[in-house]
């Protein structure tokens, strides 16, 4: 059944009304989540916390989740996903994201903007919080929280939530920073003042062996939450220092490795029809996201790891391969993620909005 004219008019309502609402208050929107920056804190070298006051569309979050954040940088809408570092509150009046500045040209556009141009009073566009790096409701066992670098943000949210619920007696917190300047001192003082079973801030790489020295009874913990940069995370793959399988819960923040690349050597170009007369030729080896960017397109993306759904789009025809497991799609219409798919044949895509 085709959508009725009324459905089309309702779908177009936000685009028609929102510009007028923003003339009165930049936070106002018919459907979009937006938040005003109410304060900014310097936590450590290249590491800032932004306190955000969202509009009424903010649904609240669970400790450990991330949120897509978007802003217009040099005339282009740019979106990234950042973990929420504050604990959930019933009032939902503010929440915090803690952002490390990424100095790599492709991936550091938004973080650099937030560090060098964003000011108190600015309004950011948000998606809805998501992610499974959370403690199950009603969980009452021993917890080990481990982080490295800016991977501290979701772990910190969990720690603060447990503190608010007075659940710290059986919780140990371990964080590793690359240097003393990268240690968030205010956060360190905050956590060390709380009644954790143990709080450890380290300088230098964290390995399973070093974790074993710090937490010798780690095998007694019901859950171990681990988040950090790619080199640290890789050290724990296949050797988790005495932590039983099924106990470890991991989260790779942006900047971690992309999914394994299958089909290396298959570089024969294929055609991608983007609609409205736009047809581009892309290579079959990289992800569709990278291939389209190389062709001059600017599709939306967030995490670049198949987590946040920002690059989700409709494949109307053609075959793609999932870079994570090598599974190939059928030629029929379906939703795909550009960052975890590569083209196998000519494709027809509906990208929707672009940056």
- Nearest one of 170, 124, 165, 166 to 145, comparing CA atoms: 170
* Mean pLDDT in residue range 224-239: 82
Task: Describe the crossing of helices 185-192 and 152-164 by its angle, rounded to 10 degrees.
Answer: 30
In the listed set 98, 126, 154, which residue is the last one of a domain according to the structure? 126
SS3 call for 169: coil
Q: Residue 223's domain spans which residues?
A: 143-252
pLDDT surpasses 80 at 91: no
Judge if 192 and 107 occupy the same domain.
Answer: no
Going by pLDDT thresholds of 50, 70 and 90, the confidence category of residue 158 is very high
Q: Give the best-scoring range by mean pLDDT among 98-107, 148-157, 209-218, 297-306.
A: 148-157
Q: Considering the domain boundaries, does residue 135 fall inside one? A: no
Q: Considering the domain boundaries, does residue 245 fall inside one? A: yes
* CA 346/CA 107 separation, integer angstroms: 28
Average per-residue pLDDT for the chain: 83
Q: Give the best-scoring range by mean pLDDT among 14-28, 81-95, 113-127, 235-249.
A: 113-127
- The pLDDT value recorded for residue 220 is 85
- The pLDDT value recorded for residue 11 is 43
- The pLDDT value recorded for residue 78 is 85
Judge if 109 and 191 occupy the same domain.
Answer: no
In the listed set 224, 252, 280, which residue is the last one of a domain according to the structure? 252
Judge if 174 and 279 occupy the same domain.
Answer: no
What's the pTM value of the predicted model, to 2 decimals? Answer: 0.74
* DSSP 8-class letter at 209: H
Q: How many domains does the chain have?
A: 3
Q: Considering the domain boundaries, does residue 259 fall inside one? A: no
Going by pLDDT thresholds of 50, 70 and 90, the confidence category of residue 1 is very low
pLDDT in tens, 188-206: 999 999 999 999 999 999 9
Looking up residue 329, the CATH number of its domain turns out to be 3.10.20.30
Q: Considering the domain boundaries, does residue 257 fall inside one? A: no
Q: Considering the domain boundaries, does residue 134 fall inside one? A: no
């Amino acid at each position: 059944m085709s959508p009725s004219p009324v459905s089309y008019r309702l779908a177009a309502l936000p685009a028609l009304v929102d510009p007028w609402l923003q003339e009165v208050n930049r936070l106002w929107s018919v459907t979009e989540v937006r938040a005003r920056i109410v304060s900014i804190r310097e936590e450590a070298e290249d590491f800032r916390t932004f306190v955000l006051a969202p509009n009424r569309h903010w649904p609240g979050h669970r400790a450990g989740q991330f949120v897509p954040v978007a802003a217009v940088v040099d005339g282009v809408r740019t979106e990234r996903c950042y973990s929420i570092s504050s604990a959930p509150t019933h009032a939902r009046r503010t929440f915090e994201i803690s952002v490390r500045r990424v100095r790599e040209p492709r991936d550091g556009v938004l973080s650099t903007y937030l560090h060098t141009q964003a000011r108190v009073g600015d309004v950011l566009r948000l998606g809805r919080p998501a992610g499974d790096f959370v403690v199950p409701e009603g969980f009452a066992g021993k917890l080990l929280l481990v982080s490295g670098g800016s991977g501290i943000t979701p772990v910190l949210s969990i720690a603060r939530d447990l503190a608010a619920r007075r659940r710290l007696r059986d919780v140990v917190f371990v964080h590793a920073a690359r240097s003393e300047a990268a240690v968030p001192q205010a956060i360190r003082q905050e956590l060390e003042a709380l009644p954790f079973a143990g709080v450890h801030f380290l300088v230098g790489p964290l390995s399973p062996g070093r974790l074993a020295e710090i937490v010798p009874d780690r095998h007694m913990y019901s859950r171990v939450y681990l988040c950090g940069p790619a080199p640290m995370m890789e050290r724990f793959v296949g050797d988790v220092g005495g932590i039983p399988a099924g106990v470890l819960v991991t989260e790779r923040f942006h900047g971690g490795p992309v999914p394994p690349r299958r089909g290396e050597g298959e570089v024969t170009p294929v055609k991608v029809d983007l609609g409205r007369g736009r047809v581009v030729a892309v290579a079959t080896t990289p992800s569709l996201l990278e291939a389209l960017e190389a062709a001059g397109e600017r599709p939306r993306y967030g995490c670049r790891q198949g987590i946040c759904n920002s690059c989700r789009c409709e494949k109307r025809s053609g075959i793609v391969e999932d870079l994570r497991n090598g599974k190939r799609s059928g030629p029929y219409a379906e939703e795909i993620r550009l960052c975890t798919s590569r083209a196998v044949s000519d494709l027809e895509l509906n990208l929707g909005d672009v940056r």
